[in-house]
Structure 1
Amino acid sequence: MRILLWHVHGSWATAFVRGGHDYLVPVVPDRGPDGRGRALTYPWPPNAYEIPWDRLREEDVDVVVLQRPHEAELAERWLGRRPGRDLPAVYVEHNTPVGAVPHTRHHLADRTDVTLVHVTHFNDLFWDSGRAPTRVIEHGVPDPGYRYTGALPRAGVVVNEPVRRRRVAGTDLLPAFARAVPLDVFGMKVTGLPQRLGLPVGTFEDLPQEAMHTELARRRVYLHPYRWTSLGLALIEAMLLGLPVVALAGTEAVEAVPPGAGIVSTRVAALTAALEDLVSDPARAAQTGQAARAAALTRYGLARFLSDWDLLLHEVLAHRELSR
């Protein structure tokens, strides 16, 4: 199968392109948002091909995987075919709804020709998907392997653009946590965060995924302070690495972290106490991290994710053939 998709969310795409298909990834001269091409900091297999945007009309495409509202129009211009009408298409909704939640109506709610794929059951519950055919395919994450050492009595946080996404990512909560345990923040655009918080927080800017995983695994605990995100895949990656997790009980985190794998709460005081306890008790931290890894392997394994996607894509293609 030849699948067209844009490089939008690096972690999700890194899992998706591990399937047994050819993945056509548009690239534009400046590698801007509508044509980033292959990932530069994630390991992608050779069957994910960069295709210049102006050559897409020459390519055979079996199905389009859309991820942003404007991509349907973009695909129509670049391919000369309309997704959902002239070409099978699915739309992956990565995000929680915004605005008048829970009344937020999805932009595909009135269409029946494009399957709307939610990445969490929380999103499926909270989006008003209208008449659109829907499916939930939970995340799958390539296993980075057990790397936990917990050698540093510090908490690790992974968040991109923590200043712009202050309340969404829970960045405003970090000072309270940092007064209890030392914090290190990994991600994009984290430089300058310590000065903004007024606290001695360590930062690690734009590390390649492999290096970030190794560094993160040296921290004794992983902190996930997100208020309103679909499900930050860094949480699952941290669990797979073997870190115990302390997470704000928002959106899908309550499903992702079962009892014994970490602490999940809406109370900042309870989360702060959990950080202190785990940082001060290396043996308990390691035991909790092993439970977290086992839970993540069971629920978010790559094989299940790719199998679910293969099933859906073949259904979409078969439906297209029957409707001709």
Structure 2
Amino acid sequence: MNILLWHVHGSWTSAFVHGKHRYLVPVTPDRGPYGLGRARTYPWPDSVVEIRPGQLATAEIDLVVLQRPEEWELATSWLGRAVGRDLPVVYVEHNTPKGDVPNTRHPMADRDDVILAHVTHFNELFWDTGATRTRVIEHGIVAPTARYTGQLDRLAVVTNEPVRRQRITGTDLIPRFTPVAPLDVYGMGVAGLPEALGPPGQRVTAYDDPPQAAMHTEVARRRAYLHLCRWTSLGLSLIEAMAMGMPVIALATTEAVAAVPASAGVLDTRVQTLVDAAVWLIEEPAAARQLGDEARRAARTRYGLDRFLADWDELLEEAQCASR
């Protein structure tokens, strides 16, 4: 099957393109948000092919995967075909709803020409999608090669744009943890975070947009993984950390409650409980390793790549059959 999709979320796309299909990814000269092309910091298979917008009108496409509302019109324009009528389409919703939660209407609500795939059950529960057909295909990951050592008395955080997103990513909570141990923050748009935090930022080191494999190796050397997101979908970096064998300290919000079993870390809505957990794991490396072993088992059981790809193959086949 030839599948057209945009490169939007690097980790999710990395798992998706490990399937058995051919994946056409738009590329533009500026490699902007609608033409990123192939990933530069993730290893993708040769079945991912860059394609220029001008080539799409004559390209053989079997199905379109959309991830942003504006991609509907963009795909129709570039392809010269009506998405949802001439070509089957699946819309992937990665995010929690914004606005009038829990009454937020999804942009694809009440449509009969699309299947809406949520990446978590939490998202399906909270988005109002009306009569649109929905499925939940939980995340899958390409298993990291790095393994947890926890040799450094430091905490690891992986997040994107924490300065801009602030309360969403729990940036305001970071100073609660800096007295316990230094924090190393990895992700896109993390440059400037230490300065934005003021004096507590002296205990924070930011690593902006590192290559995935190198990041995994470094994250796995930290004692525990700190997940402070208040309102975000389940971050793949959290699952990847668990798969490496890292113990988790996390806010008990959104899908994290279902993803992290009690045997794999400490979850709570009381921040002081999480601070106390950080102290405990810094002081007790053996306890951290025990939690990490459980985290690894949980992540590899629930978020394995084979299950993820099998679920997607089933949905893609359903979408194709429904359009015939």
Shorter-chain TM-score category? over 0.9
Residue of structure 1 equivalent to 2:310: 307
In structure 1, what is the Cα distance between the partners aligned to 2:194 and 2:262? 33
Q: CA deviation at 1:146?
A: 5.2
Query: Superposed, which structure 2 residues align to 1:72-83 within 5 Å?
Result: 72-83=72-83
In structure 1, what is the Cα distance between the partners aligned to 2:145 and 2:50? 28
1:36 counterpart letter in structure 2: L
**Gap runs ≥5 in structure 2:** none
Contact 1:26 1:52 in 2 (8 A): yes
Alignment of 1:269 with 2:272, yes or no, is yes
Deviations 1:79-130 (A, max 9, x none): 0111111110000000100000000011111211100001000000000010
Residue of structure 2 equivalent to 1:173: 173
Out of 205, 210, 233, the residue aligned to residue 230 of structure 1 is 233
In structure 2, what is the Cα distance between the partners aligned to 1:192 and 1:34? 26
Residue of structure 1 equivalent to 2:255: 252
In structure 2, what is the Cα distance between the partners aligned to 1:191 and 1:280? 29
Partner of 1:230, secondary structure, is coil
In structure 2, what is the Cα distance between the partners aligned to 1:58 and 1:179? 59
Query: Superposed, which structure 2 residues align to 1:134-173 within 5 Å?
Result: 134-145=134-145, 147-173=147-173
Contact 2:158 2:237 in 1 (8 A): yes
**Gap runs ≥5 in structure 1:** none
Query: Superposed, which structure 2 residues align to 1:277-296 within 5 Å?
Result: 277-296=280-299
Q: CA deviation at 1:176?
A: 0.6
Contact 2:15 2:141 in 1 (8 A): yes
Contact 1:144 1:241 in 2 (8 A): yes
Q: CA deviation at 1:204?
A: 1.2
Partner of 1:135, secondary structure, is strand
1:269 counterpart letter in structure 2: Q
Partner of 1:260, secondary structure, is helix
Q: TM-score, normalised by structure 1?
A: 0.98
Deviations 1:154-208 (A, max 9, x none): 1000011110010110011000111222211111121221121122211112110
Aligned length: 321
Partner of 2:263, secondary structure, is coil
In structure 2, what is the Cα distance between the partners aligned to 1:315 and 1:194? 48
1:253 counterpart letter in structure 2: A
Partner of 1:163, secondary structure, is helix
In structure 2, what is the Cα distance between the partners aligned to 1:2 and 1:221? 41
In structure 2, what is the Cα distance between the partners aligned to 1:264 and 1:81? 48
Query: Superposed, which structure 2 residues align to 1:15-164 within 5 Å?
Result: 15-145=15-145, 147-164=147-164
1:286 counterpart letter in structure 2: R
Contact 1:117 1:137 in 2 (8 A): yes
**Identity between Structure 1 and Structure 2 (%):** 63
Partner of 2:162, secondary structure, is coil
In structure 2, what is the Cα distance between the partners aligned to 1:316 and 1:202? 45
Residue of structure 1 equivalent to 2:210: 207
Q: CA deviation at 1:299?
A: 0.5
In structure 2, what is the Cα distance between the partners aligned to 1:33 and 1:209? 20
Contact 1:141 1:302 in 2 (8 A): yes
In structure 2, what is the Cα distance between the partners aligned to 1:192 and 1:67? 29
Q: Give the superposed CA RMSD.
A: 0.8
Contact 1:265 1:271 in 2 (8 A): yes
Out of 299, 313, 317, the residue aligned to residue 320 of structure 2 is 317
